[in-house]
Chain A
Amino acid sequence: MAHKRRIGVYVCHCGGNISDHVNVKEVAKTLADEAEVEITRTHLFACSDASQQEMIDEIKERNLDGLVIASCSPKLHLFTFRAMAERAGLNPYQYVHVNIREQCSWAHTGDKVGATEKGIHITRAGVAKCALTNSLTPFRLETQPRVMVIGAGVAGLRAAISLADMGLSVFVIERGNEPGGWAAQVGRMGPDDRYGPDIVANLLEQIRKQENIVLFTNAELTAKTGHIGDFNATVRLHGKEDVSLNVGAFIVTTGFTPYEPRDGEYGWGLPGVVTLKDFRQMLEAAGGGRLTHNGIPVRDVGFIYCVGSRQTQSDTCPEPNTHCSRFCCMATTFSASLLHEFEKKSGQTINQYHLYRDVRTYGRLETVYSKARADGALFLRWDPTEPPRVERCDGRLAIKVKDTLLGNEELEIDADLVVLATGMTPRKNDTLKNVLKVTESKDGFYKEIHIKLRPVETAIDGVFIAGTAQGPKNLAESVASSLAAVAKAGGRLKRGFVDLEPLIAKIDTGKCVWCDECLKACPYGAIERVVCGDKEVAMVIESSCKGEGGCVPVCAQNAIDIEGYRNEQILAMIDASQKELVTA
């Protein structure tokens, strides 16, 4: 072994989050006996400024060359403490994070003896790993000042304009024939009554004026290589011709698909049962004339809310959409006022019945709901255990519903049209999913890193998500989210460089015999064959390797190690964690 290390071990109370169930003093005391440990201490909140300063002073004073902090999840504070190590003059990769909160205190609440013992075992493992750390430096790579926006709905178009305003070049790729997404198809939009196609036309006009935006239609991303700051993207145009584009980041704004009801669900399939989108198109087509269905003037319209949203699991619905789709209450109550306006203009009497579960017109959208009621729309509330039934009856439709506001009185409403407010579901996008490797949340929409704090970043560095591709949103919310993605992507690229983690694969060319097993195992295409002297060996493309480790176990020559997770480190950790506990 090389020279003896001087490691500092700090054990955190996390207020009481850890110390209520783990004896932190005991952990610190036991660890002090480890050969390479120079000092141990406990801190009430290791992450606080004061504690960090104390640790920094101590690292310098005692000339420590390794640091272990037993605290919370590395997801929370690994980077905090790496940065602290750096400020203390220590290489950040000589810091090892041990999680005794989630893994000890929270997992073994109430078992203080057991949680404390486990805390000691895993902190020892951390020290063993720390003793074998090297000083590492991140790779600094230049970034390309170009972004690819995937999907030209309002979210994508708005993102493109703002990126261009920041001085970045933008490629917008739209799979369909026309840009604009749903907003181009739904006509007048609430809450402020703007015409969707006008909104889209206005954005397209701005895009035409920007020299650094190129919009492709009938275009799909089919391949991607590289890393944040420098990706090579292959885009297929009209299903045949491929173009290759070099970009620094992707913003995915591929939107949603409206829910498609099951046969018979709320009468779906019967003549006169339509979706909100169909209804709005009928109303727009009627103009100032008559609203008819199958040639018969429409007199009674029933609207059913929450179709395909907020579902619970049942035999008929094995994979429920449990989310609320956010836009449909507003869009449907807004439609009530549009219908009322039509009624006044055309003189055709129309009664409207709105069958809802809860009206979720939050924030200023409330005014849309109030207006609908003032405009004479009648609201009936049903219980999800007894949803309304729609049947065909004497050439018309009959809706049977128990109105909870009348004490569950069962009512029958005759209607000419039944409009289903279908919710948002994730868009099917298998090609894109395979290329980008962005994960999905339980609800099937693209998954962000942190729903509250990092809502537009994904686990794939350099790939951002926005608009309804990330989850249900109305138009204003989709735009807000797309501008957030612009800020994040632009912020990364405008710096001109990115620092990539040095925790990647290293190949011992002396041992390598080029069997190509590692090449086959790597999901990132980060292994290349090179000629080295008189033999062929594997080489790691440093900018592509994510340190994922698939190559390590398949190498029969044991020629591969992942920096930061080297075999000798893992073995040392296992040994250290098995060491018997001598308790007082």
Chain B
Amino acid sequence: MIKVSSNLAARVKDTEGFNAGACFHCGTCTALCPLGYEMLPRKLFREVMLGLEEKVRARIPQIFSCLLCRMCEKNCPSEVHIADNIRTLRCLINRQEFGLK
């Protein structure tokens, strides 16, 4: 059982451009990602929105290996800014985990 927390979500909510709420889980992005990571990006965003911080922390290597090729984003039917979302997350993680400003 994992506890849902709104803290991470609240931080992300305040960030301009993070729009994963529109995602309706069609799985197009998962299928198209050349890195073939099962989790990127729809599950990751969900974990962020639900505030499952432990889970997100465990995904750091994947978050940073995204190519930002936008294959997913071009094909997303809900117009989720997937690549920008990833960059937003990188930003947050840099600040929080690695103490970068």
Interface residues of A (CB under 8 A from B): 299-300, 349, 351, 353, 370, 373-378, 380-381, 400, 403, 405-407, 409-414
B52 contacts which chain A residues (CB < 8 A)?
A: 411
Q: Can you list 13 residue pairs at the A/B interface with Cβ under 8 Å?
A: A373-B21, A374-B21, A375-B21, A381-B25, A403-B46, A403-B50, A405-B43, A406-B43, A406-B50, A409-B2, A410-B1, A411-B50, A412-B1
Complex contact B6–A351 (CB within 8 A): yes
Q: Judge whether B50 and A378 touch: CB under 8 Å.
A: yes
B22 near A349 with CB under 8 A, answer: no
Hey, which bits of chain B sit against chain A, CB under 8 A? Answer: 1-4, 6, 9-10, 13, 19, 21-25, 42-43, 46-47, 49-50, 52
Query: Complex Cα distance A405/B2, Å?
Result: 15
Q: Are A414 and B2 in contact (CB-based, < 8 A)?
A: no
Contacts of A380 in B (CB 8 A): 50
- B2/A411 in contact, CB under 8 A: yes
Is the pair B21, A377 in contact by a Cβ cutoff of 8 Å?
yes
Other-chain contact of A406, B6, B13, B47 (Cβ < 8 Å)? B47
Name 6 extra pairs, CB < 8 A, besides A374-B22, A378-B49, A405-B43: A299-B6, A351-B6, A353-B4, A373-B24, A407-B43, A411-B2
Say yes or no: B2 contacts A412, CB within 8 Å.
yes
In the complex, chain A residues whose CB is within 8 Å of the CB of B4: 353, 411-414
In angstroms, how far is the closest chain B Cβ from the Cβ of A192? 21
Contact of A414 among B3, B9, B19, B42 (CB under 8 A): B3
Q: Are B13 and A376 in contact (CB under 8 A)?
A: yes
Q: Which of B2, B46, B50 has the most CB of A within 10 A?
A: B50
Q: How far is the CA of A373 from the CA of B25 in the complex (A)?
A: 12
Measured CB to CB, the nearest residue on chain B to A359 is: B24
Bound CA span A414–B51, Å:
12
Q: Using Cβ atoms and an 8 Å threshold, which residues of chain A touch B23?
A: 373
| A378→B21 contact, CB < 8 A | yes
Question: Which residues of A sit under 8 angstroms from B1, Cβ to Cβ?
Answer: 400, 410-412
**Highest count of chain B CB atoms <10 Å: which of A373, A380, A400:** A373
Contacts of A351 in B (CB 8 A): 6, 9-10
A413: which B residues are within 8 A, CB to CB? Answer: 4
Q: Are B46 and A406 in contact, with the CB atoms below 8 A?
A: yes
Q: Contacts of B47 on A, CB cut-off 8 Å? A: 406
Give every chain A residue within 8 A of B9 (Cβ-Cβ). Answer: 351, 378
CA A380 to CA B25, docked complex, whole Å: 11
B2 touches A410 (CB 8 A): yes
Q: Within the assembled complex, what's the spacing in Å between the Cα atoms of A373 and B20? A: 9
| Closest Cβ–Cβ distance, residue A329 to chain B (whole Å) | 13
**What residues of chain B lie closer than 8 Å to A409, measured between beta carbons?**
2
List of B residues within 8 angstroms of A374 by Cβ: 19, 21-22
Quick one: closest B residue to A376, CB to CB?
B21
Q: Give Cα A531–Cα B97 distance, bound, in whole angstroms.
A: 103
A386 CA to B42 CA in the complex, in Å? 23
A320 CA to B19 CA in the complex, in Å? 39
Contacts of A349 in B (CB 8 A): 6, 10
CB-nearest residue of chain A relative to B9? A351
Among A300, A370, A381, A410, contact of B6 (Cβ-Cβ < 8 Å): A300
- Contacting residues, chain A, for B50 (C-beta < 8 A): 378, 380, 403, 406, 411
- Interface-centre pick from A300, A381, A405 (highest chain B CB count, 10 A): A405
Nearest first, the 8 A-B pairs at minimum CB distance are A351-B6, A413-B4, A373-B21, A410-B1, A405-B25, A412-B3, A373-B22, A412-B1
Output the least CB separation between B47 and chain A (Å): 7
Q: How far apart are A382's CB and chain B's nearest CB, in angstroms?
A: 13
A407 to chain B, nearest CB (A): 8
Q: Is the CB of B46 within 8 A of A405?
A: yes
- Residues on B with beta carbons closer than 8 Å to the beta carbon of A300: 6
A261 vs B61: C-alpha distance in the bound complex, in angstroms? 46
Shortest CB-to-CB span from A373 to chain B, Å, is 5
Query: Please, which residues of chain B bring their CB within 8 A of the CB of A411?
Result: 1-4, 50, 52
- In angstroms, Cα B22 to Cα A376, docked, is 9
Using Cβ atoms and an 8 Å threshold, which residues of chain A touch B42? Answer: 405
Query: Once bound together, how far apart are the Cα atoms of A407 and B4, in whole Å?
Result: 16
Q: How far is the CA of A411 from the CA of B52 in the complex (A)?
A: 9
User: Please, which residues of chain B bring their CB within 8 A of the CB of A378?
Assistant: 9, 21, 49-50
Report the Cα distance A353→B13, complex, angstroms: 15
B49 neighbours in A (Cβ, 8 Å)? 378
CA distance A410 to B1 in the complex (A): 5
- Which residue from chain B places its CB closest to the CB of A415 in the assembled complex? B4
User: Which chain A residue lies CB-closest to B22?
Assistant: A373
How many Å lie between the Cα of A349 and that of B6 in the bound state? 10
Identify the interface centre among B21, B23, B43: most chain A CB within 10 Å of its CB: B21
CA distance A410 to B2 in the complex (A): 6
**Which chain A residues lie closer than 8 Å to B3 at the CB level?**
411-412, 414
Distance of A410 Cα from B55 Cα, bound (Å) = 13
Contacts of A414 in B (CB 8 A): 3-4
B-chain residues with CB within 8 Å of residue A375 when the two chains form the complex: 21
The CA-CA distance from A349 to B9 in the complex, in Å, is 12
Q: What residue in chain B is nearest A407 (Cβ atoms)? A: B43
- How many angstroms between the C-alpha atoms of A299 and B4 in the bound complex? 13
Chain B residues contacting A373 (CB-CB under 8 Å) are 21-24
* Chain B, Cβ-Cβ closest to A370: B22
Q: B25: nearest residue on chain A (CB-CB)?
A: A405
Distance (whole angstroms) from the CB of A312 to the closest CB of chain B: 24
Which residues from chain A contact B43 at a C-beta distance below 8 Å?
405-407
User: Separation in Å of the B43 CB from the closest CB of chain A?
Assistant: 6
Q: Which residue of A lies closest to B49 (CB)?
A: A378
Docked complex Cα distance between A110 and B4 (Å): 60
**Chain B residue nearest in CB terms to A400:** B1
A405 and B21 CA atoms in complex are apart in Å by: 13
Bound together, the chains give a CA A547 to CA B39 distance in angstroms of: 70
